[in-house]
Every structure is written in C-alpha cells, then in structure tokens.
Amino acid sequence: MASGLFVLMTSDEETDLPAKRASANAALIRRMAGGDRDALAELYDNLSRPLYATARHILNDAAEAQDVVHDVFLTLWENAASFDSGRGAAFSWAVTLTRNRSIDRLRTRSNRARLLGNSIPDDFGYGSDTADIGGGERAELGDRAVAVRSALAELPAEQQRALELAFFSGLTQKEIAERLSEPIGTIKARIRRGLIKLRDTLAGRL
C-alpha cells in the first residue's frame, strides 16, 4: 500500500511540473519587466533549447536559428511589461515569436532569390530549377557562381558591400541602410549600379 501511495504521489508531482514551470517562467518575465537581467539569463536557460530546436526545424540552418533565438529573447526583454499570463504561458509566447521570426527569415530568403533572379539575366544560371539537371549542368552552374563572385569582388567597395548584405546576408534595403548608416535612396542606387556593372562584366565572361 505504501509503495502504491508513493507511486501515486510521484505521478501527481510529475503532472504538476508543467504548471510549475509555467508559473516560474511567468515570474521571470515579471522580473524582467522590472529590469532584472538575471531573470533574463534564467529564462534563457529554461527556454533556449526548445526555441532553438523550433527555429532550426523551420530554417534548417544553425546560424540563422541562433540569430532568431537571440532576437526572440531581445523581444521578450523589451516587451516583458506587456506579458499577461492570463492570455497564455511565457513558453507559448516565446514559441510563437520564434515561429514568426523564422517564417519571416524564410520569406526574406525567397524575396532575395526573386530579386536576384529578376536582376541578373537567366542565362547566368540563377533562379533556375536545378532539381532535374544532370551532373555536367550542375558543374556549369557552379562555374557560373564562381564567375559571379569573382565579378562581385571587382565592384567598388560600397557597391560590393550593399550587394553582399542584400544577397548573401538576406537583409532588406531598409536594413542595409540602417546597418551602413546611409540613406535608403543611396543604398538602392548602389545596388542598382552594382547589378548593372555585374551584368556588363559577366556578359563578357559567360
């Protein structure tokens, strides 16, 4: 009988664990709202692994998943005062933010690929469907990619930096302007001039 009672109590305690964790995380969020950085560190220890797993599953990229998680915790810190445990658990809030940020990154990838495809001629090999091509054609596309990077390296430094941030770092033109502390009109002009110069350079090589 004593053994059965012990098992029953253990089962009840395990059932209460999610509620206890939710309560503890909510308390950490409230402390964060008061500027407690130790609470942020504790919440990071509690939630970072499942949030990273969520972002990694969506993005299939470790570095981007890490960036998303850091961004999510910054958002939690900045918006801790708006948290209402009556509307949901802190973990649910964090997971929703992680999913949204990850999906935004996927959209940025898609937009970047579309912009690159619209800006560089089709015969450069970008934007084409490579699922059904053979090994020889894949090698040719690889050669073209090398040629594009080589031509990119020949651009003026400011144009090269703008294009790298746009196509290889996935930033929007607004984000590039903020990163470089330049007017967005200047960034747009640099990207446009850089793409034109790329087209002219590559036309003689491919």
Confidence of residue 173 (pLDDT cuts 50, 70, 90): confident
Task: Determine the pLDDT at residue 17.
Answer: 65
Euclidean distance between CA atoms 193 and 176, whole angstroms: 16
Task: Determine the pLDDT at residue 5.
Answer: 38
Q: Report which of residues 128 and 186 the model is more confident about.
A: 186
pLDDT per position as a tens digit, 111-162: 555 555 444 444 444 444 444 444 554 454 456 666 777 778 888 989 888 8
Euclidean distance between CA atoms 165 and 64, whole angstroms: 15
Other beta carbons within 10 Å of 49: 11
Q: Which domains does the chain have, with CATH numbers?
A: 20-110 (1.10.1740.10), 121-203 (1.10.10.10)
pTM flag (> 0.85): no
Task: Determine the pLDDT at residue 15.
Answer: 47
The one-letter amino acid code at 26 reads A
Task: Determine the pLDDT at residue 52.
Answer: 93
Task: Determine the pLDDT at residue 9.
Answer: 40
DSSP structure class, residue 157:
H
Residue of 5, 47, 2 whose CA lies nearest to 22: 47
